[in-house]
Amino acid sequence: MFKENGVGQKGGSDEQWVIITLLLTALAFFANYFSYVFEITDTTANIFLIPIIIATFLFQKRGLVYSVFVMGMYLIMVMFLQPGIPALVNAGEHAIIMVGIALIITLLSLALHKSEKKYRLLFETSPAPVIVISPENRVLDANESFFRVFGYPPELILGKRMGELPVLTEESRAVLENYLENKKEARSFKESMDIDLTGEKGEIHNCRVITNTLYDDDGETDVKVAVIMDVTDNVVAEEKIRASLCEKETLLREVHHRVKNNLQVIVSMLKLQSKRTDDPQIRSTLTDCQNRVYSMAMVHEKIYLSDSLADIDIREYLQSLSKMLLLEYSELLGRVSVLVRCDEYIHFDLDTVVPVALITNELISNSLKYAFPGKEEGTISIEVLKTDSMFSYRFRDDGIGMPDGFDIDESQTLGMKIVKTLVRQLNGEINIQKNLGTEIIIRFPVQR
């Protein structure tokens, strides 16, 4: 009668509870028999509540059938011991109450069993290993996925303390014990941690363990549930991607390095060529070409020497470029200074920094050539500022200024043509002001 499995029998097996229920039922019959024989009391029937509650709670429908059977036998016993309507009516009232209680408990037990079965199904069918941990950090339960992934038999896992589990490596055991020690007084256990676990065959699993705490009605810790995600494949894939990126970064640095070296060769050739001519105009032209090429070579040098291959700190670049150009005009060393001011953390990508570098080269070279004839000292300032969507590039010198009637749109000099072309490349606009020297303002949009 009691073969149906019910709500978890935490105190023993089904067979043990069947024996206990039958013994309690027999005890109730003996107590009621002596009660009716010696006319002690008519409330002895309440003793039947104990086996009825146990039977209906643990075995649901079969327990209800058993309760009806017991009450039927009780009524038959009363009919034999005290024939008559009053005794039978009194016993019938007790029987109806008992069966009603049995029905209520059966319905509650069925609802509880259904809920437990649903969550047990989720627990057992979870593709991720899951373990249930007591407040004392002992493993109360583990699902099939845990044993399938790690390969250990249940007897090596269930009931063991967390620090004793064979899945732990020496390193991960120390990490876990330190973690549990830090969490000893904490009520919340809702966190995740990365840890290496080992399978029965010695294989290492890179795992991410997500833990959560379940509380009882009094707010005390009931159990802790740990979901273990095996991220070994992800870690291996990340390592491959990281190695691939490292190779590509090395290759890209080498490309920038070689481009810089090739441009440096061109600079050296131009410098040698300029030394072989006595014509000042040709020498000046070759020097201009040399500076233009070198400004681009410096871009590639800064890139392969920087932490990022995607952009350049524009302030550092402009400072280096201005120092290089001052060295080309040695007669102005000590007389003319170049000041660079930029907003912090302004970095330009390659598509932006090359035009800005060439523009700066043209403007500084032009000022060093023409702005300070006969002056004891002078200052060139470069300022790069950033608003929400625009960059503002401001170049200024305190030299003699542009000639009267100068119009950049009408200018036929190569330097100004280069500047105009590069400003258009940046999708920007240029404005020249003549006020105690020359001030050139270029505004261009931030590249997204």
Strands (E), 169-310: 191-198, 204-215, 221-230
1: in domain: no
Looking at the fold, whether 444 and 331 belong to one and the same domain comes out as yes
Are residues 393 and 332 part of one domain?
A: yes
Average pLDDT over residues 264-288: 87
Does position 9 have pLDDT exceeding 70, yes or no?
no
Residues facing residue 444 across a β-bridge = 391
> Does the pLDDT at position 278 exceed 80?
yes
Domain presence at residue 271: yes
CB atoms within 10 A of CB 60: 22
Secondary element (H or E) of residue 386: strand 378-386
> In sequence order, what E strands does 300-359 have?
311-313, 336-342, 347-349
Taking a C-beta distance cutoff of 8 angstroms, is the pair 191, 211 a contact?
Answer: yes
Give a yes or no: residue 253 inside a domain: yes
Whole-number pLDDT of residue 6: 44
The owner of tokens 């040695």 is 330
State whether 443 and 385 are in the same domain: yes
Number of domains in the chain: 4
Query: What's the CA gap between 286 and 273, in Å, rounded?
Result: 8
Region 296-311: mean pLDDT is: 83
Percent of the chain with pLDDT over 70: 93
Does 297 lie in the same domain as 322? no
Does residue 242 form part of some domain?
Answer: yes
State whether 315 and 443 are in the same domain: yes
Element (H or E) spanning 245, and its range? helix 232-275
Q: Choose the final residue of a domain: 94, 125, 156.
A: 125
C-alpha torsion angle, residues 236, 239, 243, 245 (rounded to 10): 110
Q: What is the mean pLDDT of residues 235-241?
A: 86
pTM over 0.85, yes/no = no
Q: What is the pLDDT of residue 43?
A: 63
Mark which of 283, 309, 335 sits at the end of a domain.
309
One-letter amino acid for residue 280 of the chain: P
Q: How confident is the model at residue 70 (pLDDT cuts 50, 70, 90)?
A: confident
Q: Say what the pLDDT of residue 177 is.
A: 75
Same-domain check for residues 97 and 26 = yes
Q: What is the CATH number of the domain that holds 373?
A: 3.30.565.10
75: in domain: yes
Q: How far apart are CA 88 and CA 76, in angstroms?
A: 9
pLDDT at 343: 86
For residues 320 and 314, what is the distance between their CA atoms, to the nearest angstrom?
10
**In whole angstroms, what is the distance from residue 274 CA to residue 268 CA?**
10
Cα(232)–Cα(259) distance, integer angstroms: 40
Residues 352, 438, single domain; the answer is yes
Which of the listed ranges 61-70, 212-221, 318-327 does the model predict with the highest average pLDDT?
Answer: 318-327
Is residue 387 located within the same domain as residue 408? yes
- pLDDT tens-digit readout, 328-366: 887 777 788 999 999 878 889 888 999 999 999 999 998
The pLDDT of residue 31: 78
Instruction: Give the residue with greater pLDDT, 70 vs 405.
Output: 70
Nearest-angstrom CA–CA distance, 120 and 126: 10
Q: Predicted confidence band at 448 (pLDDT cuts at 50, 70, 90)? A: low
The better pLDDT of the pair 9, 106 is held by: 106
Q: How far is CA 90 from CA 26, 49, 104, 299, in A?
A: 21, 16, 22, 105
* CA-to-CA separations, 28 to 48, 50, 63, 101, in angstroms, rounded: 6, 9, 16, 17
CATH number at residue 136: 3.30.450.20
Q: Please compute the mean of the pLDDT values over residues 436-442 and round it to a whole number.
A: 89
Residue 10 banded pLDDT, cuts 50, 70, 90: very low
Closest CA to 196 of 188, 205, 187: 205
The amino acid at residue 367 is S
Which of the two residues, 227 and 78, has the higher pLDDT score?
Answer: 227
Structural domain includes residue 226 = yes
Q: Calculate what percentage of the chain has a pLDDT beyond 90.
A: 18
Does residue 6 sit within a domain? Answer: no
Whether 242 and 290 have beta carbons less than 8 Å apart is answered as no
* Residues of the domain holding 249: 236-309
381 with 273, same domain: the answer is: no
In a domain, 401, yes or no: yes
Same domain? For 138 and 271 the reply is: no
pLDDT at 178 over 80: no
pLDDT of residue 338: 92
Of 280, 309, 338, the one marking the end of a domain is: 309
Contact 65, 1 (CB under 8 A): yes
Same structural domain for residues 106 and 134? no
Do both 64 and 38 map to the same domain? Answer: yes
**Kindly report the CA angle at 285 between 282 and 289, in degrees rounded to 5?**
140
List, in sequence order, every residue forming a beta bridge with 197; answer none if it has no partner.
168, 205
